[in-house]
Structures are given as structure tokens and as C-alpha cells.
Chains A and B, each alone.
Chain A
Amino acid sequence: MADETPIDGPRGSAEGETPRGSGASAGAKFKLKIWRADASVERSGEFVEYEVETYPGMVVLDAIHDVQAKQAPDLAVRWNCKAGRCGSCSAEINGKPKLLCMTRMSNFDPAEPIVVTPMKTWPLIKDLVTDVSHNYRVAKKIPPFKPRPRDADGHWRMKQEDIDRIQEFRKCIECFLCQDVCHVLRDHHKTEEFAGPRFMIHLATLDMHPLDTVDRHPMIKEEFGVGYCNITRCCTEVCPEHIVITDNAIIPLKERVADDFYDPLRWVARKLFPPKHKKQLPVVQGDTPRLDARGDAAKTKPSEAADAEE
């Protein structure tokens, strides 16, 4: 089905989107083009158009629920909290990876149908539901946190400023939109070679955790394939939690691995004295302009235009 969806079409501009508040007012009628397919039914897969009436504040997930309740009770969609906290309702809206519950209908022009398709990277189960179990298998491969002993009085002392940056990573809601948009996984299907941005964040959390004692650098290099990331920053762009995935997690991991394995002095030192402490790196804030990295990224990017790039 993937080839029939418009996900990879050129998207030079934010098609169909208008500034919030303008365009769709309450009571406007919208057309929703939803991908209906069932993996276990041969040759299934088509866009079905549904009409919904909006009300103030309506999000795309509300529109899907309206369709379910009134027009297509067997329409499959995942959701839990409808507040952007659980990361269940990931899908692609007009080709962009988004949380259905955090995308307002008022962002769109009622004249154009809103196209809702499942995440492309994962095998389809039904309609908007995909098989994301791969992610849970990767999670299981990551050696768990193992802390150093507590201080004499039974506490562990950590400075707030030392954990600020990993608390950023811990905001991850596992929506897997970063995994969905990552071209290493999406287009090159390197799911066995590269753990993907979500797990790079998790590995970075562990690596930068002031209490952790496990050295995962060899695994980050080999099993989890940090080298596959060529810093296109697509993951950072789609993250609904605004985690600066590439600059704050993946690049530091690349540097740490490079230091360990490609600097000959460090390589020898590492063999003789396995690392005990975690070094500190500067943290890029969410709203810092991204220098000229975008230009470089575009050059290194393979064939297609970066997904979700505006």
C-alpha cells in the first residue's frame, strides 16, 4: 500500500495548512480522506472519504472518532489519552508524521480534504494501526540501567543542572514518529542495523546518567549503529515533545563513540582503564537557531526530499 499513498510526494510548502484561527471556524464541514486497509485481507487498501462537522478546538482525532461513532465503527485507530501524553495516536496527516490528538482541524483549509494515513515505516495491521512491535524488541536489547552504590546516608546526590539534559530525553512519549520519519528506517529499511532516534535518546539518557555504571559504547557503535545517522534532523523536527534529538543526543553519542574507537590514544587508554565517569558536553537549547546544518543535511540526504520537511 505504501506506494499508493502520497507520503513521499514533494512537499516544498506546508500544503493545506493555514495559520491557526483563520480558515476553519466551528461548524465548518471537512472532508477526511482516510486510508482503509486490512493486512490480512488480500488486495485491500483504498482511500475512503468521510465528511465531518467541526466544533471549537476540534483535533483530527476527534474527527476520526466522529467517523467511528457515526459512519465506520470498525475504523481502526490507536489512541489513549487525547492530550499528547501517551504517544499512541501517531499517523501521517497530509503526509506529515503527527499525533492525531495534537493536530487542530483549524490548521487546515476546509476546501481541501485532510489526508490521514498510517505511519509508513511499520507494517500495516489495519487502517491507521501499524505493527510497532519492532520498537519493543529493540528496547529489550538495551542493557538496563545499573547505578553506583548509594551515598553513606542512603541517598543518591545529583545536581539538578547535571540531570536537566537527560530529563529532556525522558520527556519521550514513545510515539515513534521519529522512527517513522528517519530515512534510515523508513526508506532504507535498516531496522536491524540502526536502533533509530528513539533509542538513541534512550542510550544517551543511560550514557549521560550520573549514576549509571554500564559502558554501552561498543553496542552503540555496533548493534545500535549510531553511524547510520547522517544528521538530517528530521527526527528532531517531528518530535511532539520538542526534544532536540539529533543535536543533544545523537551527535554527543557519535562523538563519544568516535573518541573511544578512533582516537588511538583514547583507544589504548580505554583498553587499560575502562571509563568510570561521564564527561560533560554543552546542551543545545530547543530554540537555538540551527546554524547551517540544514544545508549540509540536504546534501547528505539520499534520493527523496526529507520527509516532513517544510
Chain B
Amino acid sequence: MAETKYETHQHEVLVIGAGGAGLRAAIEASAMGLSVGLICKSLLGKAHTVMAEGGVAAALGNVEPKDNWKVHFRDTMKGGRYLNQWRMAQLHAMEAPDRVNELEEWGALFDRTKDGRILQRNFGGHKYPRLAHVGDRTGLEMIRTLQQHGIHTGMHVYMECTITRLLGESPTGTGASRTPGRVTGAFGYWRENGKFVVFEAKAVVLATGGIGRAFKVNSNSWECTGDGQGLAYLLGAEIMDQEFMQFHPTGMVWPPSVRGTLITEGVRGEGGTLRNKDGKRIMFDYIHPLYANETADTEAEADRWLKESTSGITSTARRTPDLLPRDIVARAIHTEVKEGRGSPHGGVFLDIFSRRSADDIKKKLPAMYHQFKELGDVDITKEPMEVGPTAHYTMGGIRVDPETQETCVKGLFAAGECAAGMHGANRLGGNSLSDLLVFGRIAGLHAGKFAKAASAKSVDPAQIDQFASDALEPFNRTEGVNPFAVHEDLMNVMQTYCGIMRNEKDLQTCLKELDRLNEAASRTKIGGGNRHYNTGWHEVIDLRNMLIVSEAMARSALARKESRGGHARDDFAEMDAAFGKINHVCRAGKNGMELEAVPLPDVPDEIKKVLEEDK
């Protein structure tokens, strides 16, 4: 083909993705005096972090002085059913308080305790009130704070730019003869005019978020299409734990327009309870044995705990089962609906109106109040909400080194939701925002260190020509399929065959369907128009990444013959100790995607001791 026309930008560190993790990484690398480019797929400040509601988990101990990193670490490992990379969970618990305090230094305004310090609220799976929050819009506060601080640190922000491929060399060989590969930059286009752009960089941080858009019912924004995982995979990096998909228990179920839209766990943190159509509180019937000794088994005890723990008293009562980890609550709702005890539109009822005053609800949950009033015609201060599970978060993602967040490709780092390891089989609410801050910073720091030590490597013009021609292919087809239709198809396939409850037969079907969709995606056609802000074209690129992650999810789910955290199978309904020792890793092989079961790293004795302390 003719030589590709493109503009070039050079940076020492390039960060792809401008949500919490990307912004925090870019801030760290900028603070090291490096030239940093930050790429947003949409406008700055609109990333999916903005949707986070309930809070950021950090053992500040402001409400319960007994809280400390060890308790947070234990809660995180238990919530992840011990499939987490222990070192990441440890770093996260130890560093989260500093990261939250640092936000305050940059202007964040968290809700306050009576004596004026940062207030913390209860959340699922957290032993103590631990989530620093701002009503139910904590993510907005966080991204705005990072944005307003970040733009003054000298970083260069590129908005509405889609990266279609990473530039560089893939790792080759195995064992002793293995070469690690090397990232040299990224190739993409401006959404505004479709013109190509090349970023040359010594180090690249991926911080592109999750894969919720692969599911029909999801809480995610359009950007969450698994881009980082797709980009990393195509450059030979590994993706891990992809079978673990978090279905948040409380998404809106009615009306259809907003099906899946998130309702914060903060509703239950503030006292909300889940009830079935008979008005019965359902969660007492679903207390998982792992949590039996710390969960209230009567309504009276649950309510006493709530009252005491939110008024700064160390409660002797046990926690309410409404705040069990998300995987347990989501499956409980799934079961209630399946067995015919659901609400009219196929969910259950979430009741806050009978538990708190209308004023409290409007003050503590203003966004929920407006969301239901304006989109659902429901006044949550007067009537219950109807809720059901919604695809929300991927625990899986790019495999990284726990200390540095570097992938197996030299110079390529990943942080936040697109990286794996921190949350194991299930993420606790509030641990995502702290994950973004802690590992965003670590990724930025180590990418910065790498860039300082490394010499620049030039990009390969042949590679750029190839990627440009790949990107334009859908424009050249006269016959083909509609990319929007393929996406819709994919969402239905994943929802039906790889959703909240899986089995061998469905997962086999899922893989066959994904083959069919991969074939269809290779024939997508742009239905008209030029390259200027062409949404159909953008959809084609997103589809490729979603299909890669979906395949990894189905393959890993098929291989894991047990139920654990965000992966549940009705043909293997229990946890299996043997599967508790391995993570599933997917990488590109000669004949398509390869899957390997790799053993979890050994847990040192002093960490084992921390995990045992509470038992």
C-alpha cells in the first residue's frame, strides 16, 4: 500500500486510558520530571471511573480505630477466595490510606466525621466501616480531583483518540530461549477526523478499564470494551483470571432503557435490605459457610450491628447478610428470581424507604434518588427499588508483576481494572477505586523508572503500514455485516452462555458462537460516510478487543470446573481446593489462543500468619 500518512508524538511515558488509574499513573510519571502523554478514548474526565458511587476503601481507622491494613488485607483475600496475588493485595491495603489522604491534598472533599475527619461507610465484605466517600458520587470526586491536579503537572492530554495497536516486538520462544519483547509506542487515530497518529514512547502504561460492554445487561459505559487486554494480547502479553466476572447484585431492572444501570452498594451500606415478592428479607437464607461466623442470622442482630457500627460504636453484633460479598448476593437474587419469588420485572426489591428518613436518603444517596425519579418513575423515599444482577467488573485482565505492574513485554505496564491479580475471584466494593490509586501510582512510578533507564527504540514503519491498512479494511468492503449487529449478537451470546451461572454445555456453545462472531467481525463493513467521527468504524475496533477478552473468559470458565467468586457453574457448584491453587493464563499461540494453568505464588509465613489471625 501507499506510505501511511500520520503525525508523530514522542513521550518518555505514554499512558493509554484516562480514568483513575491512567490519571494517577500519568501524575506519578510527570512528577518524576518525564515527558508524559495521556490518551483518552473520550473527553478528559468522562472515563468510567466517574460512575463509581459508593466509595474508596482504605483502612484509615477514622470511624473504627481498630481497622488497619492487616484487616483490610484479610478481607480482600477472603473476598477474592484466596485467588488474589497476595503481594498486590498487601501493597493495596498498606498504601490505600496514603493515596486517599493525597487526594485530599489535591482538593478532594470527602464527607466528614463529626470531628471533621474523613468519614467512612460500611460496604460488603469489609469488616469495619472503611469507605471514604462523597454521597454516592465518589468516582466523580476522584476523577475531577485527579484531573484538576493532573493538568497542572505538565502532562500532555490527547482527547478522543483511539489506539488500535501497540507498536513493538512480541516475546518469542519458551523457557531459557525466551526473549521478552519490547513495546515502542502505539498506533491509533483521532476520532474527530479519522487521521492516523503514532506515539513513540519508551514505556507504555495500559489503564483502559473493563469489558462490561460484552454483556447485554451491564453497568458499563461504551468505553469498557477490553481495549487494554486486547492490545496487550496482540503484542504477546498474557491475560489472566478472565473467567472471573463480577455481576453486581443491584442493577436497575426496569424500565428496559436503563436495565443494568448501577445502584450503589451504598444503599445497603446505609441500611437498605433485599426482599422478595413476599416481603421476606432474603439474605438470611444465603449466608455462605465462609462468612457464617461473622454474619448475623437474625434481623434483630443485623439491625443492631447497622445501628451501632454507623454511630462509631464497636458493635458486638455480627454484620448484616445484606452486606455479604457481591458474588454471594448476586447469586442469591438470581436464585430467588429463578425460583419464582422475584419482583414483577424479574428482580428483587431493595428497600431503603422503610429504613431511613426521606431527608437522609436524599442527603446520603442523592444520585440514586434522581436516577430512579427521572429514569424509572420511582420515588425511593416512598417505595422500594427493583434490582437484579448486572455485569459490572472484570477481576481478570493483563498479567503483571505484583511489585512493578510490568507485563511480560518489556516496557509495557498495566494498572486498574484492565490488570489482573489484585482481586482474585471476586472484588470487594470500594477496592476498585483504591486499586486505581495504588496501582496507578505504582505503574506510573515503574514505567517512569524504566523510561529513565532505557534508551529509545525506533518504531517500525512496516508495522505502522500494516496497522493502518488493517484499520481501514472495513471501509474497503462492498459486502459485509453491520458491526452494531455483531456487537448486539455478542452481548446476547455472553449473557446467555457465559453469564452469572455457567456449565459445560453452555460454555462449549459459547465458544462455537464466538467462532461464528469472530468470522462475522472479520467481514464488518462501514455503512457509509467518511472517517470523520464515524461511530460505525469505532465499533469495529472495539469489537475486536471484546471478542479477544470474551474468548479468554469462555476458555478459562470452561477449564475451571468449580464455583468460586465471580465464576459459578451449576455442574460444579462447590469450591474445589485444587482449583484454589491455580490461575488461568491466556496468550496468543501459533494456533490461536492458548490456556495454561499456572500455580499461585507461595505465600510467605509472616503473611500466612496475618491471614490466620482473625480465624
Contact = CB atoms under 8 A, between A and B. Distances in A.
User: Which of A38, A75, A77, A170 counts the most chain B CB atoms within 10 A?
Assistant: A170
A76 B148 contact: no
A21 B377 contact: yes
Given A58-B257, A86-B46, A126-B532, A140 B367 contact: no
A86 B51 contact: yes
B10 to A, nearest CB: 22
A132 interface: yes
A145 to B, nearest CB: 4
Interface string A143-183: 01101000000111111100100110011111000000000
A80 B222 contact: yes
A308 to B, nearest CB: 17
Nearest to A202: B148
A40 B532 contact: yes
User: Which of A155, A163, A166, A173 counts the most chain B CB atoms within 10 A?
Assistant: A155
Interface in A261-301: none
Contact of B371 (A84, A125, A163, A172): A84
A81 B377 CA distance: 19
A170 B50 CA distance: 12
B172 interface: no
B526 A125 contact: no
B106 interface: yes
B482 interface: yes
Contact of B43 (A88, A126, A144, A163): A88
A80 B223 contact: yes
B77 interface: no
A75 B376 contact: no
A76 B374 contact: no
Interface string B233-272: 0000000000000000000001111100110000000000
A4 interface: no
A139 interface: yes
A81 B42 CA distance: 11
Contact of A81 (B51, B255, B374, B488): B51
A40 B50 CA distance: 32
Given A68-B535, A80-B223, A145-B106, A55 B257 contact: yes
B148 A88 contact: no
A310 interface: no
Interface stretch (B112-120, B173-181, B279-287): B112-120
Contacts of A104: 374-375
B529 interface: yes
Contacts of A209: 107, 109
B64 interface: no
A48 interface: no
B116 A158 contact: yes
A193 to B, nearest CB: 22
A154 B255 CA distance: 47
A111 interface: no
B54 to A, nearest CB: 13
A87 B111 contact: no
B134 interface: yes
Contacts of B106: 145
A21 B51 CA distance: 28
B473 to A, nearest CB: 16
A66 B117 CA distance: 48
A153 B112 CA distance: 16
Contacts of B117: 155-157
A174 to B, nearest CB: 6
Contact of B109 (A20, A59, A170): A170
A74 B375 contact: no
A127 B530 CA distance: 13
B111 A102 contact: no
Contacts of B485: 69
- Interface residues of A, dominant DSSP: loop
Interface stretch (B137-145, B424-432, B450-458, B545-553): B137-145
Contact of A173 (B140, B528, B535): B140
A56 B261 contact: no
Interface string A34-61: 0000101100000000000001111100
B567 to A, nearest CB: 27
A56 B255 contact: yes
Contacts of A163: 109, 112
B417 to A, nearest CB: 15
A156 B104 contact: yes
Contact of B533 (A70, A72, A126): A126
A173 to B, nearest CB: 7
B148 A145 contact: yes
B66 to A, nearest CB: 18
B310 to A, nearest CB: 15
A102 B47 CA distance: 18
Given A157-B115, A166-B109, A174 B45 contact: yes
A73 B134 contact: no
Nearest to B139: A85
Given A81-B221, A87-B46, A160 B532 contact: no
Contact of B529 (A73, A129, A167): A73
Given A74-B534, A81-B48, A59 B483 contact: no
Contacts of A21: 377
Contacts of A202: 148
Given A38-B532, A129-B533, A166-B109, A83 B144 contact: no
Given A78-B43, A102-B375, A139-B151, A85 B51 contact: yes
A81 B260 CA distance: 11
Given A57-B254, A145-B148, A155-B117, A82 B261 contact: yes
Contacts of A20: 377
Nearest to B539: A73
B140 A171 contact: yes
Contacts of B111: 160, 167
A85 B331 CA distance: 28
A103 to B, nearest CB: 9
B449 interface: no
Contact of B193 (A40, A84, A155): A40
A55 B529 CA distance: 29
A260 B413 CA distance: 50
B9 interface: no
A166 B110 CA distance: 11
B277 interface: no
Contacts of A102: 374-375
A80 B44 contact: no
A160 B112 contact: yes
Given A158-B116, A160-B111, A170-B144, A83 B482 contact: no
Contacts of B527: 72-74
Nearest to A77: B535
Nearest to B536: A73
B103 to A, nearest CB: 11
A184 to B, nearest CB: 23
14 contacts: A21-B377, A56-B255, A59-B257, A76-B533, A80-B48, A81-B48, A85-B51, A86-B50, A104-B374, A133-B159, A136-B43, A139-B148, A166-B109, A173-B50
Given A82-B221, A144-B152, A171-B366, 7 more contacts: A55-B256, A79-B222, A81-B48, A86-B45, A86-B221, A129-B192, A133-B159
Listed from nearest, the 7 A-B pairs whose CB atoms lie closest are: A57-B255, A74-B529, A73-B536, A157-B116, A57-B257, A145-B107, A76-B533
